[in-house]
Structure formats: C-alpha cells, structure tokens
Structure 1
Amino acid sequence: MGSDVEDERQLVERAQAGDQDAFQELVVRYQRKVYSICYGMLKNQQDSMDVSQDVFIKVFRYLEKFNHNSSFYTWLYRITVNKCIDFIRKRNRRSEVDYNDAVGREDDIDGDEQIMSSTLGLRPDRVYARKELRDNMLEALDTLSEKHRTILILREVEGLAYEEIADVLGISKGTVMSRLYHARRYFQEAIKEYLGETLVVK
C-alpha cells in the first residue's frame, strides 16, 4: 500500500512539473472511478462522460496548486463530487431532469450491483439476474436526496473509508456515519416494495 501511495505521489509530482505522460497515466488510472461516481450521481451516460471530462480539465488546470495535504484521489473525488453537484443544480434550474433516462444502463451495472449487494444484502449474481429489480433500484436511487445518493456511491461503490468520505465531503466522520445510515434506510424503504425478502438496515 505504501509503495502505491509513493508511486502516486511521484506521478503527481511529475505531472506538476509538466510531464504530460505522467498526467495521462493519472487520467487512465482514475477515469473509470471518476465516471462511476458521475454516473451514480447523474444517471445519464453522456452527461457523465461530459462531467468526467470537465473534472480532468479542472485537475489539469489546478494540479500545480495541489499541496499533498490529502491524497490525490481524495482531492480528485472532491472535485468530481462538486462538479456533479454543480451540474445537477444547473440541470434542475433548466428543468431538464429526465428521471426515466435509461441510456447506458446495460454498460454501467457494476456500481449498481455493488449498492444492491451491500445495502440490500443480496448476492451480486442474484442482482444481475434480476434486471427488473436493478431498474427499480435505479429509480429508487433517484428518490434519494443529493447528499444521500452521493454518500452511498462513495461508500458502497468506491469503497472509501469513513475518514476519506469526510475529507471529500468536508464533513465530520460522525456525520458520515449518520448520513450513511439514513441513506441505506431510505434506499431500502424505496426498494423494499419490489422485494420479497426482509431487509435489515446495517
């Protein structure tokens, strides 16, 4: 783990010094994770691709100001979440939110399966086999507030520790734990009508 952190730091420092290959390697390393967060929050393939691109443009512009007080990926995730929140707010102001958008769902089920299996206690193979359940799960995610949907994605899909989530969102660890508890409960309540199983809040 230590060598990975050191390798990442060296990559970042090279990129900060103007090494384009190093920056490209950072993009390759994190582009899927950034897209996963964007898709989890935006639920639209094209919007997620556009915002992901905006994220890396901002990273490129401000990388020289990154001071290593936090890990690079924490800094990157913070930018990603903020970009998504900004996009959602602008989209809502334009009244262009489409809650029935199904574009890209067949190609982006990994994160959905992780939320289903971890939050609902279902095995991933059962989740994948139940397409209708997955579709209903996506609708249930849309009913969550912005803050609850975001914290579920960071914890259940990206696997961030409570401390890392606190750093990304700028909140306390206690708030993370409380918000995650309520996010899981709200999600379970939203989806349980589609399930014949008893759900237990973690």
Structure 2
Amino acid sequence: MDKQKLIKASKAGDDDAFYQLIVENKEKLYKIAYSYLRNEEDALEAIQEVTCRAYMRFGKLKEDQYFDTWLVRIMINYCIDELKKKSRFFNQEINLNNSKIFRNDEDVINYNQYGLQPVLDEMEPKIRSIIELKYFHDFTITEIARTIERPEGTVKTWLNKGLKVLRSYLEKEGD
C-alpha cells in the first residue's frame, strides 16, 4: 500500500496502517533521536514516546503529504525537551563529547573524527540542528523548513551562519 493510502487508512482508525507508517520512518527517527540524545536506550525510548504522541495527535495532521516532516518535528521537540530536562535535573552541562550520528546502516560518524565536536557544542541549538539535519541526515532546505516550521529563507540564513562558524573554526584549527 502506498503512503497516502496508509495515511488515509490510519485516519480511519486502521492501527496496522499506522504501524506501517511508523516502521517506514523508524530508521530516520532513530538517527535523529540518537544525534540529539547520544544514547541508544534514550533514542529507542524516544521512538516509543514519539510513536505514542503521533498516534494520539494523528487527527491534528493537516496535510497528509507532510506526514514524515510532522513526525520528525515531534521527534525533534521531544529530544529538545529531554535535553532540557536532563540539564535541569543534573544542573550541569550535558556532555556531548562522545556523540555519534548514523549516516547509513554501516557507517557511524563521530564528530571528533572530523574535529567538529568543539565547534558544534558551542553553536546555538537551532543552527546546530540545521547543520545536523542538512549534512548528517541529508534533509533538503525545504524539508528542514517544514520540520522546524520556519521559512526557507530563515533556514538558509541560519545554515549560512553555521557554515561560516564551521569555516572559521576549521581555518583557525588549520594554522
């Protein structure tokens, strides 16, 4: 069954169709959750929580063709909330030094491998998110704009700002 039929069936109450939609997005959701939470258990818990939230709010999905970006937005919001909770509870800076992001099934990318961890840790969260979505999760500018609910021009501006910071950092480190 194609995605549009699955969405319509899900809206009509077909739980199997909703499950299929989640299965199709599971890998992408895991990668995003892991890139934010830096922990396999937390990422898997995030998928469960986001699945539940999406199921409960499925009626609020306005345009069926944006199901994937709607689901990713729920994941990003959940991850940001979890990071805020952790930093509040532990009252310390969250250690992101051992972060890894999955680019595909076989390849694990470690920010430190490229010497980017220090600069990414210092970036504003909104800019870091755009850099991660664009270059580590292969989102297009349009997909990022829909996901973070900002105009494409804003996404391009923030992306440019982030790239300038990265460029400056790499030039300084090259000396």
Are residue 182 (structure 1) and residue 161 (structure 2) matched? Answer: yes
After TM superposition, the structure 1 stretch with the greater mean CA deviation from structure 2, 136-145 or 162-171, is: 136-145
Moved more, 136-145 or 173-182: 136-145
Structure 1 length as normaliser, TM-score?
0.71
What does 1:1-202 correspond to in 2, within 5 Å? 7-68=2-63, 71-94=66-89, 95=91, 97-99=93-95, 102=98, 105=100, 108-110=101-103, 133-134=112-113, 136-190=115-169
Structure 1 residues 190, 88: closer, same or farther in 2, change over 3 A? farther
Displacement after TM superposition at 1:18 (Å): 2.1
Instruction: Classify the secondary structure of the residue corresponding to 2:2.
Output: helix
TM-score between the two structures when normalised by the length of structure 2? 0.80
**Contact 1:39 / 1:45 at 8 angstroms: preserved in 2?**
yes
Give the direction of change, closer, same or farther, for the CA distance of 1:180–1:109 in structure 2 (3 Å limit).
same
Indicate conservation of the 8 Å contact 1:143/1:190, yes or no: no
Aligned length: 172
Paired residue secondary structure (2:139) = coil
CA RMSD of aligned residues (A): 2.9
Task: Write out per-residue CA displacement over residues 146-193 of structure 1, whole angstroms, 9 at most, x where no aligned residue.
Answer: 111111122223322222222221211111001011122223444556
How far does the alpha carbon of each residue in 1:4-27 deviate from its partner, in whole angstroms, 9 at most, with x for none? xx9211111112222222112111
Identity %: 27
Change over 3 Å in CA distance of 1:41–1:149 after alignment to 2: farther
Q: How far off is 1:76 after superposition?
A: 1.0
